Structure 1
Amino acid sequence: MIAVLGECVADAFTDHRPADPVGMALRVLPGGGPANTAVALARLGTAARFLGRLSHDVFGDLFRAHLASSGVDLSAAVAAGELSTLAVAALDADGRAVYTFYADGTADWGWTPDELDGDRLGPASCLHTGSLALVRRPGGEAVEEFARAVRSRATVSIDPNVRPGFATRDDYRVERWCAWSDILKLSTDDVDFLLPGVPYERACDTWHAAGARLVVVTKGAAGALISLDGERAEVPAPRVRVVDTVGAGDAFTAGLLHDLEARGLLGGRLDGLDLETAVAAATFAAEVAALTCSVPGADPPWRDRLTGRRSPGPAR
C-alpha cells in the first residue's frame, strides 16, 4: 500500500474566449496533485490510501465519488467542516493549465497534529506528499511533522509541484524536506522556479547533498532526468497526441511509485535500488504520463491500457 497525503481541488475549466463579452461556462473536474496521484496508483493496481480533508460541500461529494470509483481507500480521510478548494484553469497554446485559486480558509490546509497521528498511515510502505498541502498554513507544519515521524517505517516521496502565484519561493523548503525524504520528483518548471539559472544536474546534486537519494526531473515531451545518488540517465517520453497536460506529472509520480512498489523496493531508504532499475521505473512512469496527456483533464489510465509490465489490480 502507498499512502498519499494532500489536497483535493475542484479544477474548473473554461471555454471562455477573449472576444466573447457574454460570459463563460465552467466544467468542473476533480483534481489536486496528491488526489490525482492516489487515483492513478489505484488504477494501476497499487493499493492507495488517501489522507485528505474532504469537505461536506458538492465538490467534496465529487471528490469522494471520484476517488472511491477508482479504488482509493478513503478510510483515513478526514471529514472537514471547511469548504473545498476551487481552481479555475485556462489552457495555453501548448495545453498547459494556468490556474487561479480560490483557497483561503478551505479544507485542504486545515490539518492539525491530532488529525495526523501515526495510525493514519496504516500498513503503507510509502508516504507520498507535497504540493500545496505542505506549504499552506496552518496545516503545512503538521504535514511536515507527520512525514518526519513516519519515515522510520516508510519510504517518503515528495513532489513540490510549485504554484508561483500561490506560494513564494521561500515557502518551498526543498532542501529541508530532503533531510527526511527519499524520493524527490519535480518538473523543469519547478526547478527553474526554485533554483533559477541552475542546470538541472547541479540542482539534483544540491538535493542529493541535502539527503534525497532519488531525484527525478520531468521534462515534458523531452522525457525525464533520473539521478540516483549522483548517477544519471535520461528517459524519453512516448509520442502521443497531446490534448492537455493536466495531471501528467501526478500520473508520472504514480507510475514511478507503482513500479518501485511492485519490485519490493519501498518501505525503507531504497537500499536495493540501482540506476538501471530506476530508469526502468521511470520509463514505465513516462508511459502512464503520456496516456494521461492524451485525454482531457487529470484522467490517468487504468492498467489495461498500458503496454508495459502490470501488476494485479483493478481493470476497466
Structure 2
Amino acid sequence: MSDGQVAVLGECVADGFVTGSARGELTLRVLPGGSPANTAVALSRLGTPTRFLGRLSHDSFGALFRAHLNASGVDLTGCVSAAEPSTLAVATLDESGQAAYSFYAEGSADWQWSTAELTAERAGDVSCLHTGSIALVHAPGADRIEELLARIAARATVSIDPNVRAGFVDLAVYRERMLRWCALADIVKLSDDDLEAIHPGEEAERACDTWHAAGARLVVVTRGPEGALVSLDGERVTVPAPVVTVVDTVGAGDSFTAALLHRLRSHGLLGGRLDTLDLDRAGDAAAFAARVAALTCSVPGADPPWARDLTGDGSPRARLP
C-alpha cells in the first residue's frame, strides 16, 4: 500500500453567515468552505499529506481560499488559477445548528474543468483520491471528474461523498449517477439525509447492499447524534457519536470523511482496493471519525481540529467539555 498524499478534488465555496440586519442592510460573515475544501483542510490538520485539486478564482474569495488552505498545510500545486468568479453560498442555521444553503454559482470557477486541465498528472502520485459534493454533479466538470476517477482507480483508492445539495442540483441527477459512482469507488460515505434524498424511505442496510453490489467495498452512513453505520461488503457495525454541545454542524460531515481516510491511511490501508480491510478496523476508523466530527460541531463554522487537539488514541484533548 502507498503512503503517498491523499488528493481531494472539488469546490471551494464562500460560506456567508448572516450576522446582522439594520437600516435595510444585511451583514454577512464570509468563511472559506465547500465540502471538498473542508475535507482537504481537515485531512491536512490531522497530519495526512494532502493535495487539493480545485479551480481557484482570482477574486477576493479565491484569495481567502488560498490563504485558508495554505495555513492548514494543504498542497495547492494541483490547483488551476481561474478567471471565473468564486461560488458563494449563504447559510441559514436552524435551532439545532443545521445549515441550509442558498447558492450563487452561475458561471463560477469550480465547475469549469476541461479534459486538458483534469489529468492524472495533476492528481500526482497519490494513495487515495477523494471527491464528491456539487463538483461531482455540476456540468461541465462532473463528467471530467468521473473520467479521472476511472483512470486513477487502477493505482489509488477512490473515495466519494455525494453530499447532496437538493436546493442546487436536481435529485434525479444523484439517483441516476449513484450506482455509477459506486462502480468507481472503494469508499462511499454519506449522511442519513443524503440516503433519504437518493433512496427515499429505504432502510440503510438495503441501500448499502445495493451499493456493495455495484462495487463499493466500504459504505459509511453518518447519523448525527446517533453515530454511524459501517458496512463492509455487507458485514455491519454501528459506532456511537460522542456527546457534545453543538454550536453548529457546518463541516462536521467533511471532518468525518477526512478522519475516516486519515485513520485508514495510518493503518496502511489506502493505495488499493481495501483488500486487507476488516470490519474491526473499519469500525475503528469510523469511531475515530465520529470523535473528530464532534470536535468540529463544538466550534462555529467549518473549523476542524488539528492533531494536537487529539490524544494518541484519537480521543479529544480540547474543544469538548
TM bracket, shorter-chain basis: over 0.9
**CA deviation string 1:60-90 (max 9, x = no partner):** 0000000000000000000011000000001
**CA deviation string 1:39-74 (max 9, x = no partner):** 000000000000000000000000000000000000
Please give the residue correspondences for 1:88-99 in structure 2 after superposition, counting only pairs within 5 Å.
Answer: 88-99=90-101
Shift of 1:117: 1.2
Task: Give the TM-score of the pair, scaled to structure 2.
Answer: 0.94
For the 8 Å contact 1:287–1:306, the answer to whether it is kept is no
> What residue in structure 1 maps to residue 191 of structure 2?
187
For the 8 Å contact 1:53–1:79, the answer to whether it is kept is yes
For the 8 Å contact 1:124–1:154, the answer to whether it is kept is yes
> What residue in structure 2 maps to residue 314 of structure 1?
none
Deviation above 6 Å: which 4+ runs of structure 1? none
Please give the residue correspondences for 1:42-57 in structure 2 after superposition, counting only pairs within 5 Å.
Answer: 42-57=44-59
Secondary structure in 2 matching 1:38:
helix
Distance 1:234 1:308, change over 3 A: farther
**Which structure 2 segments of 5+ residues have no match?**
315-321
Counterparts of 1:273 and 1:139 in 2: how far apart (Å)?
Answer: 32
> What residue in structure 2 maps to residue 243 of structure 1?
247
> What residue in structure 1 maps to residue 257 of structure 2?
253
> What residue in structure 1 maps to residue 154 of structure 2?
152
Question: Are 2:212 and 1:208 aligned?
Answer: yes
Residue identity opposite 1:148 in structure 2: A
Question: Are 2:50 and 1:22 aligned?
Answer: no
Shift of 1:27: 0.2
Counterparts of 2:217 and 2:158 in 1: how far apart (Å)?
Answer: 11
- Aligned residues: CA RMSD: 1.0
Shift of 1:21: 6.7
Counterparts of 2:198 and 2:312 in 1: how far apart (Å)?
Answer: 33
Secondary structure in 2 matching 1:256:
helix
> What residue in structure 1 maps to residue 41 of structure 2?
39
Which residue of 132, 140, 143 maps to 2:142?
140
> What residue in structure 2 maps to residue 233 of structure 1?
237
> What residue in structure 2 maps to residue 283 of structure 1?
287
Counterparts of 1:6 and 1:182 in 2: how far apart (Å)?
Answer: 18
Counterparts of 1:177 and 1:308 in 2: how far apart (Å)?
Answer: 34
Counterparts of 2:230 and 2:312 in 1: how far apart (Å)?
Answer: 19
Shift of 1:180: 1.0
> What residue in structure 1 maps to residue 16 of structure 2?
12
Counterparts of 1:133 and 1:16 in 2: how far apart (Å)?
Answer: 31
Shift of 1:123: 1.6
Residue identity opposite 2:309 in structure 1: R
Shift of 1:308: 4.6
> What residue in structure 1 maps to residue 271 of structure 2?
267
Counterparts of 2:305 and 2:312 in 1: how far apart (Å)?
Answer: 13
Residue identity opposite 2:181 in structure 1: W
Counterparts of 2:15 and 2:312 in 1: how far apart (Å)?
Answer: 30
Aligned-residue identity in percent: 66
Secondary structure in 2 matching 1:24:
strand
